[in-house]
Amino acid sequence: VSCSAGRLVLALYTSEDVKDSITIVQKCWNEFNKYTPETHTKLAIAPSQVIQIENSVSNKNDSVSKNDPKEEAMLNLISKYMPFSDFSSSKSDSLKHDQFMSLRLFLLRRPSMRSVNEEQIFEVLKRSYRSYINVKKDSEDIASLLVNDHHMISSTFTASSDGKLHPWPHAKDLRVDYLDHNTEVSDKDCPNTTTRSDSPVVFATYALRKPRF
C-alpha cells in the first residue's frame, strides 16, 4: 500500500493451499487500500520565510568568509608558536602559555560579537602586526611581541560601566600612544616617558588629559 508517508509492506500467512490468483490479489489490494493513512497536517512554507532563511544562512557565511586577512594571519601565527603547558611546566612557561591562549581566544571571537572597545584593541594589534612585518621581524618574535602588546593593553585599561576604556585607578593621568617603529618621539614631546624597545607602545604621563584610546 502506497501513501504519502512511504510504503507499507504486508505479509499474509495462511494454512490453506491458496493458488496464485490475480483476482484474490486485486480484492486484497482494494480492501487494504481503504486503510491507507491520510495525513491531516500539511507542511506549508511561505516564500517570504524561505527568503529569510536563505538570507540568514548567507549572512553567516559572509561573516566567516569576510574575515580580515591580518586577523587570520595573526591567529595562525599565535596558534603556531603557542607553547605547550602541562603540570610539569615552570611558572614562567605556564604564564606565557596563558598569555598566548588569551590572545588566541580573543582573535577567535567573531566580529559580530565584539564590543567597541574590543574593535579598538583589534585595530591596535593590527597596526602593531603591520609595523613588525615592515621591520622584517622574525615570525616567532612577532608572535611573542603581539602577545606582549595584548597583555599590556589588557592590563593597562579596563572597561568601565559607561562602556568606555579608562585607565586603572592608580594611573588616572596615564595615556597610551600606539606608534609605528619608524616614528621618532622626543623628550620634549613626551615628558616623563618610558619606552620599551620590543614594543611600539609609549607610556606618557600628562596632567588633565583623557586617554587616547
Rounded distance, CA 153 to CA 117, Å? 11
Is residue 157 a contact partner of residue 168, using CB atoms and an 8 Å limit? yes
Is residue 39 a contact partner of residue 70, using CB atoms and an 8 Å limit? no
Is 139 a member of any domain? no
**Phi, psi angles (nearest 5°) of residue 176:** -120, 125
Is 206 a member of any domain? no
Rounded distance, CA 120 to CA 165, Å? 10
Task: Output the pLDDT for position 104.
Answer: 86
Is 82 a member of any domain? no
Distances (CA, A) of 56 to 49, 113, 128, 187: 11, 16, 34, 54
- DSSP symbol at 41: -
Looking at the 3D structure of the chain, how many domains does it have?
1
Is 174 a member of any domain? no
Core vs surface per residue 148-157: b (16+ CB within 10 A) or e: bbbbebeebb
Task: Output the pLDDT for position 162.
Answer: 46
Task: Output the pLDDT for position 189.
Answer: 44
The answer, as to whether pTM is greater than 0.75, is no
What residue numbers bound the domain in which 9 lies?
2-33
The C-alpha torsion from 77 through 80 and 83 to 87, rounded to 10°, is 130
Core vs surface per residue 95-132: b (16+ CB within 10 A) or e: ebbebbeebbebbeeeeeeeeebeeebbebbbbbbebb
- Comparing CA positions, the residue from 40, 31, 39 lying closest to residue 10 is 31
Task: Output the pLDDT for position 122.
Answer: 84
Is 72 a member of any domain? no
Task: Output the pLDDT for position 75.
Answer: 85
Is 16 a member of any domain? yes
Q: What residues have CB less than 8 Å from 98, skipping those under 6 apart?
A: 85
- DSSP symbol at 130: H
- pLDDT tens by residue, the chain, 213 residues: 444 555 667 777 778 787 878 888 788 878 877 776 665 556 555 555 545 555 555 555 444 445 577 778 888 888 888 877 655 556 666 777 788 888 888 888 887 787 888 888 888 888 889 898 888 888 889 988 998 888 888 776 654 444 455 444 433 333 343 344 444 444 444 444 444 444 444 333 333 334 444
Is 21 a member of any domain? yes
Rounded distance, CA 122 to CA 103, Å? 11
Is 14 a member of any domain? yes
